[in-house]
Amino acid sequence: MECKDAIRMIHPYLEHALSVEETERFLKHTESCASCREELEIYFTVMAAMDNLDRDRNVSLNLKGRFEEQLSESRRELAFWAFIRRFRHAALIGAWVLLAAVLIIEIRFLF
C-alpha cells in the first residue's frame, strides 16, 4: 500500500467503515510507516477532541492511551475474523470429507 492510499483510509478507519481486508492492509502499512502512523494519530486526536467538545465532556483525556487502545481493539478484531475464516474453511473441508464418506458408503451398498 502506498502512503497516499493509507492517508485516504484514515477517516474511514476511524469511523469503522473499512472492510476487514482493508483494515488489515491499513494497519500493516501504518505499523511500518512512521509518517502514516503519525498522521493517523493526529486525525485520531482531533476527532477524539471534537467528540469530547460535542458531548461537553470536561474530563482529563489520555488521547495517546485511547489511540493505542483503538489500535489494539482493531488488532483483536482482525484476529477474531482470521479465526472465523480459518474455522469456516475447516468446517467446509469437514463437510466435504463427510459428504465424500457418505457417498463412498452409499456406493459400496449399491454394489
Number of domains in the chain: 1
Tell me the angle at which helices 20-32 and 3-14 cross, rounded to the nearest 10 degrees: 120
Contact 67, 13 (CB under 8 A): no
Render pLDDT for 13-31 as a digit per residue (tens, 0 to 9): 999 999 999 999 999 999 9
* Residue 90: domain span: 3-110
Contact 30, 5 (CB under 8 A): no
Average pLDDT over residues 76-83: 92
Say what the pLDDT of residue 55 is.
66
pLDDT category of residue 1 using cuts at 50, 70 and 90: confident
Question: In the numeric block, which cell numbers belong to residue 32?
Answer: 511500518
Say what the pLDDT of residue 60 is.
54
Average pLDDT over residues 77-94: 93
